[in-house]
Amino acid sequence: MNLRRDIFQAMADPTRRAILLLLASQTMTAGAIASNFDTARPTVSKHLQILTECQLLEHKQNGREIYYQINAKKMKEVADFIEPFRKMWDDRFNKLETIMKNYKSQNNEH
């Protein structure tokens, strides 16, 4: 039996990616997470279990409730959290630079 699930297999699922996004900035109970999806509660629980098994999520017992949160350290192993945001702006600025260089050479010809 494979105890440690594969991270990328876990992330391949759109519902699980949505759960990671939901938990990006807050801790939530299983119930609160499930209320964001149309899928049945046990299905969401299964997704949470998979994400926890591969250590992308951690859970804490607080009274009767279990709170889920992102395991930031594990996330950083997969990819730097801010890098895609930086890349998005870098691509945008590269485009701006190319467009304005063309604009400059066009205006110099006239």
Residues that bind another protein (CB under 8 A): 6-8, 11-12, 17-18, 20-21, 24-26, 77-90, 92-97, 99-101, 103-104
Nearer to another protein, 11 or 30 (CB): 11
DSSP state of 71: -
CB nearer another protein, residue 8 or residue 61: 8
Q: C-beta of 80: minimal distance to another protein in Å?
A: 6
> Residue 16 corresponds to which tokens in the numbers above?
């699980």
Two tokens, residue 36: 């964001």
CB pairs under 8 A, 24+ apart, for 34-40? 39/15
CB of 83 to another protein, least distance (A): 6
Select 40 or 88, whichever has its Cβ closest to another protein: 88
Which residue do the tokens 């992330």 mark? 11
Q: CA-based angle 14:31:17, to the nearest 5?
A: 15
What is the nearest approach in angstroms of another protein to the Cβ of residue 77? 6
